[in-house]
Amino acid sequence: MRYDVIIIGAGVTGCAVARALSRYDVSALVVDRESDVCEGTSKANSAIIHAGFDALPGTLKAKLNVRGSAMMDELARDLDIPFRRNGAMVVCWRADDLPKLQALYDRGVANGVQSLRLLNGDEARALEPALRDEVCGALYAPTSGIVCPFELTLALAENALENGVRFSLSTGVTGIVQDEAGFAVTTTRGVFHAKCVVNCAGVYADKIHDMVCEPSFNITARRGEYMLLDKTAGGTVSRTIFQLPTEMGKGVLVSPTIHGNLIVGPTALDIDDRDDTATTREGLNEVRRASALGVKDIPYNRVITSFSGLRATGSTGDFIIREDEKVKGFVDAAGIESPGLSSAPAIGEDVLEIIRGILPLREKESYIPTRRGIPKLAGMDFEARQRLIAARPEYGQIVCRCEQISEGEILDAIRRPLGAKTLDGVKRRVRAGMGRCQSGFCSPRVTELLAREQGIAFEDVVKNG
């Protein structure tokens, strides 16, 4: 098959590029080695839309974060995904460190972050009573937000798909060669040809790059471990509470999630195995220890799950978003670690501008900028929910009791284009199994539905992969 553009990687970056491209009259294909979108770094992170005060002024991280964050309100409306600017604080409990807060403030102002304020300890505690008495200062960023990274990525992908981008999942790239027409991309599902290749391969971006280009950067997998607490603990803090950043990252945060849980983490440890998302005793202990430094009384007895994610840390220290100098038509969007989620829509725009220099881009009249999500009955007002159930009774049959997710929503998750094929796929789309029993009660029924809808045996339904 011949395409104008092949995007390697169906994480948030790849899907943002795909959606940006889908506005134009080009043929595009997204490939990913996993069976679903959002299976790598995009699925296991802090789920924060950062305000943008962390990165050094002038870097891509700084520019794209601030721009990406500014795009998020409209994007969330267009794509029908939850997003809330809950605000963030960087807290400090040593008087010696107060100058670092000031430096962070100055950096944020230089980056163009709006409404930043420095608070003393009492002012900070007035806003967030769970902060420790030792907290002596805070940088307050009201524009920081929280989002669901699964829904963001899925929504970008679904909207791209609706506008004509094709997806080939379970398709691992094994080789790329440049030819007279552009590139031949060899995959586990055959060879695809394109004039332009965009490398959004996360922790494997250097490997993909090196298949066809001179090595110019390395990616290190930097693992971060997290704990997720029950919704009854979600109100411990209302804003995202950061600690002063270090060279390993933004430190351990404590934050409500967009769905009302409490997330604490991550740790930061560089590892060799780029698929090793195991948690460790040491890591989880570190999450507990470090999160308690700024916030008191975190109810760790209400942890419902722990997980780890891998940041794709690039050797240049900044995002790597450029067309290769020698191999024209090969575009990297690599080293997309934090603030990658926040920057994704802006990265999509920047990559689009690069592609504009490679291919002619003509806007389509048929472009549909909006996407409707799966209805979320648990959050609806009474009458709207009643009407929906009357129209489709499956919405009245609760399958996941913890998150109050109906059979109708689960069927939607499976039946939609790019629909769920696995238990984790259902979980990420509609949260069945995401709650406090962690799928103990609902997984047998969800498995039955997955088997029935896909016409496969119960035993052949898998958790992931």
Partner 1 sequence: MDERVSLAIIGGGPAGLAAAAAARERGVEDIVVFERDTRLGGILNQCIHNGFGLHTFKEELTGPEYAGRYIEKVRQLGICCETGSMALSISPDREITVVSREKGLRVVRADAIVLAMGCRERPRGALNIPGTRPQGIYTAGTAQKLVNCMGIIPGREVVILGSGDIGLIMARRMTLEGAHVQVVAELMPYSGGLKRNIVQCLDDFGIPLKLSHTVVDIRGRRRLEGVTIAQVDRTGAPIPGTGIDYPCDTLLLSCGLIPENELSLTAGVALNGATNGPLVDDRLQTSVPGIFACGNALHVHDLVDFVSEEAGRAGTHAAEYILNGGHGAGPCVRVMPGEGIRYTVPTTVHLGDGDDQVRLRFRVRDVYKGRAIRVTSGGEAVLLKKRRIMVPSEMEDVAIDRRRIVDGDLRVEIVEVEP
Taking CB under 8 A as the binding criterion, the range among 6-14, 54-62, 85-93, 430-438 that sits at the site for partner 1 is 430-438
Q: DSSP string covering 24-77, please?
A: BS--EEEE-SSSSSS-SGGGSS--EE--S-SSPTTSHHHHHHHHHHHHHHHHHH
Which residue lies nearer to partner 1 by CB, 217 or 300? Answer: 300
SS3 call for 283: helix
Q: Is 50 a catalytic residue?
A: yes
Cα distance between residue 364 and residue 235, in whole Å: 45
* Binding of residue 304 to partner 1 (CB under 8 A): yes
Which one among 1, 117, 440, 460 touches partner 1, defined by CB under 8 A?
440
Cα distance between residue 344 and residue 426, in whole Å: 23
State the burial class of residue 324 (Cβ atoms within 10 Å of its Cβ: 0-12, 13-18, 19+).
middle
* Binding of residue 397 to partner 1 (CB under 8 A): yes
Taking CB under 8 A as the binding criterion, the range among 4-12, 14-22, 211-219, 272-280 that sits at the site for partner 1 is 272-280
8 Å CB contact between 81 and 72: no
Which residue lies nearer to partner 1 by CB, 344 or 402? Answer: 402
> Which residues have a Cβ under 8 Å from the Cβ of 402 and sit 6 or more positions away?
434, 435, 436, 437, 441, 442
Question: If you search the block for the tokens 């020698």, which residue do you land on?
Answer: 326
SS3 call for 358: coil
* Binding of residue 280 to partner 1 (CB under 8 A): yes
* Binding of residue 306 to partner 1 (CB under 8 A): yes
Which one among 396, 416, 453, 454 touches partner 1, defined by CB under 8 A?
396
Total residues interacting with partner 1, rule: CB under 8 A: 46
Q: Minimum distance between the CB of residue 264 and partner 1, rounded to whole angstroms?
A: 12
Angle (CA) 357-359-360 rounded to 5° is 100
Alpha-helical (H) ranges within 112-148 are 121-127
Cα distance between residue 173 and residue 190, in whole Å: 9
Angle (CA) 331-211-360 rounded to 5° is 30
Site for partner 1 in 346-385 (CB under 8 A): 382, 385
Which residue lies nearer to partner 1 by CB, 366 or 382? Answer: 382
Which one among 275, 297, 325, 460 touches partner 1, defined by CB under 8 A?
275
Question: If you search the block for the tokens 């997984």, which residue do you land on?
Answer: 443
Which one among 372, 401, 415, 452 touches partner 1, defined by CB under 8 A?
401
Q: Minimum distance between the CB of residue 393 and partner 1, rounded to whole angstroms?
A: 4
Which one among 59, 358, 436, 454 touches partner 1, defined by CB under 8 A?
436
Site for partner 1 in 211-230 (CB under 8 A): 227-228
Q: Minimum distance between the CB of residue 265 and partner 1, rounded to whole angstroms?
A: 13
Cα distance between residue 20 and residue 351, in whole Å: 9
Q: How many CA atoms lie within 13 A of 251 on its CB side?
A: 20
CA dihedral 57, 60, 65, 70 (to 10 degrees): 90
Question: What character string, x for contact with partner 1 (CB under 8 A) and - otherwise, covers 119-148?
Answer: ------------------------------
Question: If you search the block for the tokens 């209400």, which residue do you land on?
Answer: 302
Which one among 279, 291, 338, 342 touches partner 1, defined by CB under 8 A?
279
Instruction: Tell me how crowded residue 439 is: count the other CB atoms within 10 A of its CB.
Output: 20
Which residue lies nearer to partner 1 by CB, 271 or 398? Answer: 398
Q: Residues interacting with partner 1, by CB under 8 A?
A: 227-228, 232, 275, 277-281, 283-284, 303-307, 382, 385-386, 389-390, 393-394, 396-398, 401-402, 404, 406-407, 436-441, 443-444, 448, 458-459, 462-465
**Active-site residue list:** 50
